Amino acid sequence: METNSQFTVKFWGVRGSIPSPGEETVNYGGNTSCVEMHIGGKHLIFDGGTGLRALGKSLQAEASPHHAFVFFTHYHWDHIQGVPFFFPTFNEEDCFYIHGQVPPDEEMMQMEEHFNHRVLHVNSPVPVADIRAQMKFHDIVCGETFQLDDITIETAPLNHPNGAMGYRVTWQDHTAVYCTDTEHFPDRLDENVLHLARNADIFIYDAMYTDEEYHNSKSPKVGWGHSTWQEGVKIADAAGVRQLVIFHHEPNHTDEILDGIAEQVKEARPGSVLAKEGMELSAIPE
Ligand SMILES: [Zn+2]
Ligand SMILES: [Zn+2]
């Protein structure tokens, strides 16, 4: 039951890079990045990976009109592929507030043009004119802080090829942080990530790899823009996070592999969880 006093985080897509359906991934799910926050009666949506399609279906099952605030970290495929299949955009009663920063190589564009012609149109046969919902665009300058009424949103740049933006969302002294796609530094904790994560109730972190995979001499992943669960534990400890959520799972990690990682993460930092499709967490402790 949704109430105006809740602050929950729901996971609709938890994979990185590419959807990974199949019998070996049914437990954690194969859809790519999409996270929803229900905060004080508002819907906030982070990224539009393939998980966004199912989120749209759930929204359509609720009474119209629908209003949601959508935030993009960046525009790699695994964060936008669900956008053309988010069917509430075809409902003229609905309204979506689209937030993001255009990529550095397209800085002459504004978010509206970028969304219509880079996210939607080149990737979908459906004409942009067929979108009937009201679409309102907000260009974010990465690093800025802004308000959605009584919700405070802070942003910070992440260490990722072509850039990505992390979000810290605070309401009534509770905080959830969405921090993907990002790579740790070899010699220090990332000050931007530490700042976003400080004393957060929920800290969602890109832990695509294990340390062993990241440093594997035959196939190193250094410079690919992703981190490890071991680095997530370090940041969560240093920042005083309540609950660490391991996210952006490597598509080749089967349920069995992820169950193994979950055990290790819990041992290293009790209370930590691996994100799973359909999982819902509360940012307000019970
Ligand atoms: Zn990604
Ligand atoms: Zn990416």
Give tens-digit pLDDT for 43-101.
999 999 999 999 999 999 998 899 999 999 999 999 999 999 999 999 999 999 999 99
Where do we find the tokens 């819990």? 266
**How would residue 286 be classed by pLDDT, with cut points 50, 70 and 90?**
confident
Beta bridge partners of 273: 245
**How would residue 2 be classed by pLDDT, with cut points 50, 70 and 90?**
low
240 Cα: distance to centroid of ligand 2 (angstroms): 26
Give tens-digit pLDDT for 100-152.
999 988 878 999 999 999 999 889 998 999 999 999 999 999 999 999 999 99
pTM exceeding 0.75 = yes
How many of the other CB atoms lie within 10 Å of CB of 148? 17
pLDDT at position 1, please? Answer: 55
Residues 6+ apart with CB under 8 A from 114: 75, 100, 102, 103, 106
pLDDT at position 45, please? Answer: 98
65 Cα: distance to centroid of ligand 1 (angstroms): 31
**Dist CA 205 CA 193 (whole Å):** 9
pLDDT at position 64, please? Answer: 87
pLDDT at position 4, please? Answer: 85
pLDDT at position 107, please? Answer: 74
The angle formed by the CA atoms of residues 277, 62 and 275, to the nearest 5 degrees, is: 15
17 Cα: distance to centroid of ligand 2 (angstroms): 7
Which homologous superfamily is 7-282 in? Ribonuclease Z/Hydroxyacylglutathione hydrolase-like (3.60.15.10)
Half-sphere exposure of 147 (CA within 13 A, CB side): 3
* Pairing mode, strands 164-171 and 151-158: antiparallel
Mean local confidence (pLDDT), 270-277: 98
Classify residue 210 by its DSSP letter: -
The distance from CA 23 to its chain's CA centroid, rounded to whole angstroms, is 24
181 Cα: distance to centroid of ligand 2 (angstroms): 5
9 Cα: distance to centroid of ligand 2 (angstroms): 21
Least confident interval from 102-106, 145-149, 202-206, 252-256: 102-106
* 276 has pLDDT over 70: yes
160 Cα: distance to centroid of ligand 2 (angstroms): 7
76 Cα: distance to centroid of ligand 1 (angstroms): 6
Q: Which two structure tokens, joined as six digits, stand for 35?
A: 């996270």
281 Cα: distance to centroid of ligand 2 (angstroms): 24
Q: Which ligand is nearest to the CA of 14?
A: 1
Mean local confidence (pLDDT), 150-170: 97
pLDDT at position 105, please? Answer: 83
72 Cα: distance to centroid of ligand 2 (angstroms): 11
149 Cα: distance to centroid of ligand 1 (angstroms): 29
Mean local confidence (pLDDT), 244-254: 98
